[in-house]
Structure 1
């Protein structure tokens, strides 16, 4: 059924406000990236302990994806989006004043919990308010535009820490959360003609059925491994280790490191719509595109890590541009989830898929911290050699992910050939 002009306008307004909520979630998620060295000094912690901030945040985010997906199918996106915005605001407000390591970990738990409720809700609103032919493009635009939150957590946050201090910077971040929460409460509706949408009651049997049915389809697993393999390199740089890597590992100034992280985000923003157009033109080769992107990312990292001494600026620029493409490439995984699952369990499928990249990022963040501590003498700063060892942990994850993408693709195509009504062969 064709959208009326009024509904088209409502869809754009609702999407715009939901997009601002996601942008803020990315900002909160990334706000520690340029504060890693300040956090180490403030709390007197090691590299492994610093990595624990992001580790805890990612554990909470990834661990909540399935519960959030199930709750989304039951209660609708509006309610969960509002709860997520409030929880993140409380987390940032707490982080502004806490000066103990344990308390700061608790604040990051709140940030991770609120963040976990946001993107999934935005995807559900897109699927409800826009016609199916536009959903891939709007989804990519959402993922790309939302990454501007990382820009706001790079250069402006670097300036704020230097000129305003820790407490004022995080108070300002919490204030932004209040503004977005009010906007979402006033504007967002679950579906045309209804502020709230309620699905079937949740029971243990329904949970087992929805999760089992979603995961049993190889198309959902193809989405999971697509998200797992493409996202972690960009996420790890943006969330924690990019700034220390460029400053300590490649001898760049804090300003140069901030510029490189900004270029990473610009790459994300530009690549998203381009990938949406490519996958629309060639839907039967999406997994080929995904695997090609992963191999290109691995090649760019190899060039940087084997370069004798500090890598030249042009090579670091190439690295962040190529790595940035992995962010929107991970969104292709959600296309598989939407394509191979009915609306009643779409939230569960999205939750399963959205775990992938964050579990991979979690593993990598921890691995980098452990390797840095292992390769750095006690009491010394992290060395370029230590960072080369640490960043090499990515190759294990790329190999695992590519192998499972290949396997899931073959199974998906066999499944669709046998049961055509469950999806298309456009993998």
Structure 2
């Protein structure tokens, strides 16, 4: 690593980050196009929500296959395939003139999106020194989320002035630029443009995944990711705005500002958490347990508050909940320290699907409970209905916290058995 010029390291990282940022841009580009999509395809609100749920499901299901592909063919090849797939999918979405075709296009957007983050994490682990990896991974996650912010204003303007097809074609054309830069700049490793892993048949793949999953460190990372991410994801993705407006009586502008505050909290705390686990790796799970406890505590106060919660408390809610986003990234550091390099991407894929499955479960559960607690077929949800719906989070938190504690004990016991010297060294960082 010492022979690699810093300029080369950051050039690779910045281009890979740019591809990930573009993937988040494409993922989020429909968020500001809801009304336009409703008019273009003649769909209902529930059909519109299907776009979001379908993308989440595809993203989660793709994580393990993508991890295996990265371990076999390297980050550069898989990242290139993802960028090309995103470009083609957004082009198809631009020309889609029916709901089924639009859904199909978004499926492929989800697939292309799923092929980016794991590749970038693998590049970070390969190019940067181990002591810098946790911070760089947090920076990657935080800066990548700028894609969602960048998508908002330009896409709103474009849809209003250029129309559907031209707007999405321009968005798709960005993929051509990033794919070109990727092919010119990104290498899998300092001395290798394309890094290839050992060819594996189906039996070998199952064995590799089983080895990754059997390690308690991987399972600990899985449940950390599961437990920390879903609350912020669901608020930002679908239910935060209606909860704040109809459940807590805020104006639409105030609700929008609070969700923006949550994004700022996510971006501001990520690098800090990365630095913390770098100097205190022994306490990664302790940090996560503390963050989850804080999230549960604030939600409990808000949901049990008589009447509408005061604005200051809702600010605390979105800030504390937002911290759960970068806290979920700590799970990837468990993949790094619990698996050999040739299994790193597949282990990362196992962990990365956890939070998205939890988020998808919560998205669906909230919708079902709101319908259950709302008379007739009305969508005029009441504060009481939202209290019931948001309380489903306690089911997921309970499962996740029990599992984190279980595998925290098992992971430390495994480390003691495998490497007593490292065990003692990490404990000394208390």
- Normalising by the residue count of structure 1, what TM-score does the alignment of the two structures yield? 0.91
Q: Which moved more, 1:394-403 or 1:248-257?
A: 248-257
Contact (CA 8 Å) 1:223, 1:353: kept in 2 or not?
Answer: yes
Aligned counterpart, 1:195: 193
Aligned equivalent of 1:122: 120
Conservation of the 8 A alpha-carbon contact between 1:297 and 1:322: yes
Aligned-residue Cα RMSD (Å) equals 2.5
In structure 2, what is the Cα distance between the partners aligned to 1:41 and 1:387?
A: 28
Segments of structure 2 that go 5 or more residues without pairing to the other structure are: none
Give the 3 Å change call, closer, same or farther, for CA 335–32 of structure 1 in structure 2: same
Distance 1:214 1:380, change over 3 A: closer
Query: How has the CA–CA distance of structure 1 residues 35 and 367 changed in structure 2, closer, same or farther, with 3 Å as cutoff?
Result: farther
Within the candidate set 214, 217, 228, 2:215 is matched to 217
Of 322, 344, 368, 1:324 maps to 322
For the residues of structure 2 that align with 1:249 and 1:170, how far apart are their CA atoms? 34
C-alpha distance in 2, partners of 1:159/1:261? 21
Aligned to 2:109: 111
Deviations 1:238-296 (A, max 9, x none): 22333343344444454444333322221111111111122123222111110111121
Q: For 1:111 and 1:140, how far apart are their aligned partners in 2? A: 24
1:399 maps to 2:398: yes
Deviation at 1:159, TM superposition (A): 5.6
**For residues 175 and 237 of structure 1, do their structure 2 counterparts lie closer, same or farther at Cα, with a shift above 3 Å needed?**
farther
1:179 matched to which residue of 2?
177
Corresponding residue to 2:343 among 342, 345, 356 = 345
Structure 1 residue 416: Cα displacement: 1.8
In the alignment, which residue of structure 2 is the partner of 1:303?
A: 301
Distance 2:316 2:114 in 1: 31
Give the Cα–Cα distance (whole angstroms) in 1 for the partners of residues 370 and 308 of structure 2.
Answer: 18
Which range moves more in the overlay, 92-101 or 54-63?
Answer: 92-101
Cα deviation per residue 1:74-100 (whole Å; 9 max; x = unaligned)?
A: 100011111111222233333334343
CA–CA separation in structure 2 for the residues paired with 1:175 and 1:308: 51
TM-score, normalised to structure 2, is 0.90
What pairs up with 1:76-115 in 2 under 5 angstroms?
76-115=74-113
SS in 2 for 1:202: coil
Aligned residue for 2:377, secondary structure, equals coil
Structure 2 CA distance for partners of 1:97 and 1:378, relative to 1, 3 Å: farther
Native 8 Å contact 2:131 2:278 kept in 1: no
Measure, in 2, the Cα distance between the counterparts of 1:125 and 1:43. 40
C-alpha separation in 2, matches of 1:168 and 1:252: 36
Once residues 51 and 366 of structure 1 are traced to their aligned partners in structure 2, the CA distance between those partners, rounded to angstroms, is 10
Which of the numbers 311, 314, 335 marks the counterpart of 1:313? 311
Post-superposition offset of 1:71: 0.7
Change beyond 3 A, Cα 1:40–1:294: farther
Separation (CA, whole Å) in 2 of partners of 1:165 and 1:244:
27
Flag the 1:56–1:128 CA change in 2: closer, same or farther, 3 A: same
Structure 1 segment 224-243 matched on structure 2, within 5 A: 224-243=222-241
* 2:340 is aligned with 1:368: no
Relative distance call for 1:323 and 1:150 in structure 2 (3 A) is farther
Q: Quick one: distance in 2 between partners of 1:382 and 1:327?
A: 27
Q: 2:264 aligns with which of 258, 266, 279?
A: 266
Instruction: Tell me if the contact between 2:87 and 2:173 (Cα under 8 Å) persists in the aligned partners.
Output: yes
Look up the match of 2:387.
Answer: 388
Following the alignment from structure 1 to structure 2, what is the Cα–Cα distance between the partners of residues 77 and 147?
20
Match of 1:26 in 2: 24
1:17-166 superposed matches below 5 A: 17-36=15-34, 39=37, 43=41, 45=43, 48-154=46-152, 157=155, 166=164
Distance 1:254 1:89 in 2: 34
Corresponding residue SS for 1:194: coil
Residue in 2 aligned with 1:8? 6
Deviations 1:89-125 (A, max 9, x none): 2333333343433222212211110111111000110
Assess, with a 3 A threshold, how the Cα gap between structure 1 residues 412 and 262 changes in structure 2: closer, same or farther.
same
